[in-house]
Amino acid sequence: MASSSKNILITGGAGYLGSVLAPMLLGAGYSVTVLDNLLFGQTALLDCCHNKNFSFVRGDCREECVVGPLAAKADVIIPLAALVGAPLCNQDKLAATSTNRDAVELLCRLASKDQQILIPTTNSGYGIGEKGKLCTEESPLRPLSLYGTTKCEAENLVLSRENGLSFRFATLFGTSPRMRLDLLVNDFVYRAVNDRAVVIFEGHFKRNYLHVRDAANAFLHAIANFDKMRGRAYNAGLEDANLSKLELCTEIQKQLPHFVFLEAPIGEDPDKRDYIVSNARLLESGFRPHFDLSQGITELIKAYQIIRNSRFSNV
């Protein structure tokens, strides 16, 4: 059990990753404060409210008068608050920049040198990798979107201070109390269950994947091993899941044989990412993921018996 005297502040802690991470941190004995503006009307953290070590503040991570008093009490700060994904960032570029980068700059300014900041970024910062060559943490960052750019800038801010580290997460998948259907694996399995078909654009594009619970576990691992891990970026994904979209569909088809997928001969994917990633540095620190892609697909198939996103259909 962790010492309950360690206080952890999570901004954006009611989101897809945060609503998995917060209960895990509480279960490990930490005190957790979540700051979130509940932009999507989510109620994901209701199950934490019985825990005496849990606090929730509804507010904006960009406002110093809100963040300042919370940051002052924290031993560890995890800035999850972000507009996530290229499409959402392009809808409101000002909010994307002020949330994804400027709010992290505020935390870095407010935090003392003894406070630890652990930031999730994204391996979409690699953009388009070199053919057949694994992206390591030393590979050049060439983000293709405003989302990727703001996350790379936030990472630089955290790593330039004494007590910071970052996780360059692969594309996350799996169920969460604040579910997201727009993530690639979650989306394709949803279509396989409900439509039994998907049309793929640029199906040879590759990327890496990681279960949302393993992403949360990476933070617990880093808090426990902070002294030896600090000051560095870590790719975080499954070593055996550097897959193209077509290969991902083949994995889904193993569990849903009626699933049909076709590659469109014309048309483009707005998300141009194409890279393969080495997660060796994180593995060398002792971290091991618990969930493979196949387990995640099984889990999502079950979840989609519960989630029926039919609010806009007549039947």
What pLDDT score does 1 carry? 47
Give 85's contacts (C-beta < 8 A, 6+ positions apart): 147, 182
What pLDDT score does 270 carry? 62
Domain ranges of the chain: 7-173+209-238+278-291
User: Cα–Cα distance between 298 and 12 in angstroms, integer?
Assistant: 28
**Interval 207-252: pLDDT, tens:** 999 999 999 999 999 999 999 999 999 999 999 999 999 999 999 9
Band the pLDDT of 310: cuts 50, 70, 90. low
**Interval 144-186: pLDDT, tens:** 889 989 999 999 999 999 899 999 999 999 999 999 999 999 9
Band the pLDDT of 65: cuts 50, 70, 90. very high
Measured CA to CA in angstroms, residue 32 lies from 35, 74, 196, 216 at distances of: 10, 9, 41, 14
**Interval 89-127: pLDDT, tens:** 999 999 999 999 999 999 999 999 999 999 999 887 888
Evaluate if residue 204 carries a pLDDT over 60. yes
**Interval 8-26: pLDDT, tens:** 999 999 999 999 999 999 9
User: Span 194-201, mean pLDDT?
Assistant: 93
Residue 61 · residue 12 · CB < 8 Å: yes
Across the chain, mean pLDDT equals 92
What pLDDT score does 315 carry? 42
Is the pTM above the cut of 0.85? yes
CATH fold for domain 7-173+209-238+278-291: Rossmann fold (3.40.50)
Lowest mean pLDDT among 217-221, 289-293, 300-304, 308-312: 308-312
User: Cα–Cα distance between 239 and 283 in angstroms, integer?
Assistant: 10
Evaluate if residue 3 carries a pLDDT over 50. no
**For 73-199, where are the alpha helices, taking DSSP H only?**
86-91, 93-97, 103-110, 146-159, 184-194
